[in-house]
Amino acid sequence: MAKQNVLVFPSATYPAMQIIDCLKNNPRFHVIAGGSYSNHAEYVCDDIIDDIPYIIAPDFWYSFEKLIEDRDIKYVIPTDETAAMLLKEKESELSAVVVCSPYETTKLCRYKSLTYEALKGERYVPFVYEINHIGDINEFPIFIKPDSSQGSKGAALIKSKEQLAEIENLNDYVLCEYLPGEEYTVDCFTDKSGKLLFCNPRVRTRLMNGITARGHNIDLTSEFEDVVISINSKIRFRGYWYLQLKRDKDGRLKLLEICTRFAGSFAISKGKGVNLPLLALCDFSGLDTEIVQNEYVVECDKTYIDRYKLNFEYNHVYIDYDDTVTSKEGKAVNPYVIAYLYECKYKGNKISLITRHKDTFNEELKDSFKRLSISESLFDEIIELHWNENKKDIIKESDGSIFIDNSFKERKEIQEALGIPVFDISNMDCLFDWRF
């Protein structure tokens, strides 16, 4: 069965990286990362389009539909609120399915005033002050947030009438009761029939650039479940969505916002065995979906990951064995080096192993392979040296070759003698191709 093309757009967001990671090795779907400029997606996805006009540009819709037709794109997964709302609004004019809740829902969730109005009267909706009666507000602090922003951008704690009077364009804000308690995010999934299949509450313990940098899931108590079930019954969702809750001064859960795009840390649910982007695609493909999740606590911590492009090509890898392919004083395999070598194998790069293992450990190399479950067929050639032989004299193919060794002395000799790039295991991550 031919793979169906899926466009992740815009691709410059953190959720886009997570979506690509969830889908890129799936046998049913082929991922295309789409954006308006060169971004990190090109380091993790092997099919990139980076010249799509910005969604507010006059020529966006013509260019976007032409792209969908030219690339035979069947599904589009929006990765921010604006893209979700505008793409769903124009979906009938596109020849691709937008994998998101209906337009009415995306619009309702894009504006907090509409969200609160749709759920008015429910116990979990915070008290909202009327803009026309702000003079009647006597209890501070209160919390204000832009009606149409996402996350905490533009939000502020207002501690007095004087501070409130300084806010410009107050009609663009929603004024709510202050919620001092703990904050939660709940990842949810609703299938094509409106049935809520999944909800996973989580807390964040560290933030980085507005995204949960460390967080973990918590028990799905009836308190959380009741709120999610109520919201799902009143608003028409499809596929993935999430909500944010916070406790009021009395410890009761109150709603902050609902979003119909993927959250920055939905990977915590992936850690429980639930691939939400894949589930959404299956649901929008018309398939019946069900969820099986592992019952344990997942803690996820983020940091910046460096990925590289080197401006040279090579087709032959010479690599040392002890403390390079192996680690822990020869008691284990270095999993990152082995992964890289399999990547080289797939690309057709020749792999030559150069080693003095027998002289070092008084052990036959084949016995070391057997002990560590290494296949000899991984290597195109195996060159065993004695202590009086130099590796620089063995390497015959210097053009298009690189050398990897944990020994600085060996690397220095080979670079000076042959002029080829040399790598320690500490910097060979520069060689990885993360698009696999």
Q: Which CATH class is domain 109-113+180-301?
A: alpha beta
pTM: 0.91
CA atoms of 81 and 260, how far apart (whole Å): 7
The b-or-e profile of 403-425 (16+ CB within 10 A means b, else e) is: bbbbeeebbebbeeebebbbbeb
CA atoms of 383 and 315, how far apart (whole Å): 18
Determine the pLDDT at residue 10: 97
* 317 contacts 344 by C-beta, under 8 angstroms: yes
* 26 contacts 45 by C-beta, under 8 angstroms: no
Q: Where exactly are the structural domains of the chain?
A: 4-99, 109-113+180-301, 127-177, 316-431
Tell me how crowded residue 67 is: count the other CB atoms within 10 A of its CB: 20
Determine the pLDDT at residue 243: 97
Q: How many CA within 13 A on the CB side of residue 13?
A: 21
Q: 402 vs 290, 320, 340, 395, 419, CA distance in Å?
A: 48, 11, 13, 10, 10
Tokens for 27, please give them: 């046998």
Contact residues for 167 (Cβ-Cβ < 8 A; gap 6+): 144, 156, 158, 173
Q: Which CATH class is domain 316-431?
A: alpha beta
* 144 contacts 173 by C-beta, under 8 angstroms: yes
The structure tokens 């964040």 sit at: 204
DSSP assigned state of 348? T
CATH number of 4-99: 3.40.50.20
Fold identical between 4-99 and 109-113+180-301?
A: no
Q: 299 vs 13, 215, 270, 294, 295, CA distance in Å?
A: 22, 6, 11, 14, 13
* 186 contacts 266 by C-beta, under 8 angstroms: no
Determine the pLDDT at residue 254: 98
Q: What is the pLDDT along the chain (436 residues), one digit of tens a residue?
A: 789 999 999 999 999 999 999 999 899 999 999 999 999 999 999 999 999 999 999 999 999 999 999 999 999 999 999 999 999 999 999 999 999 999 999 999 999 999 999 999 999 999 999 887 777 788 899 999 999 866 567 788 999 988 988 888 888 999 999 999 999 999 999 999 999 999 999 999 888 777 778 999 999 999 999 999 999 999 999 999 999 999 999 999 999 999 999 998 899 999 999 999 999 999 999 999 999 999 999 999 988 889 999 999 999 999 999 999 999 988 999 999 999 999 999 999 999 999 999 988 889 999 999 999 999 999 999 999 998 899 999 898 788 999 999 999 999 999 999 999 999 999 999 999 999 8
Give the type of residue at 349. N
Helix 14-23 with 276-284: angle, nearest 10 deg: 70
The structure tokens 């999740």 sit at: 293
What 3-state class would DSSP assign to 7?
A: strand
Determine the pLDDT at residue 212: 79
Strand partners, 50: none
Give the DSSP letter string of 70-118: HTTEEEEEE-SHHHHHHHHHTGGGSSSEE-SS-HHHHHHHHSHHHHHHH
CA atoms of 377 and 4, how far apart (whole Å): 34
What 3-state class would DSSP assign to 416?
A: helix
Give the type of residue at 200. N
Determine the pLDDT at residue 152: 63
CA atoms of 58 and 55, how far apart (whole Å): 8
* 300 contacts 271 by C-beta, under 8 angstroms: yes
Determine the pLDDT at residue 150: 65
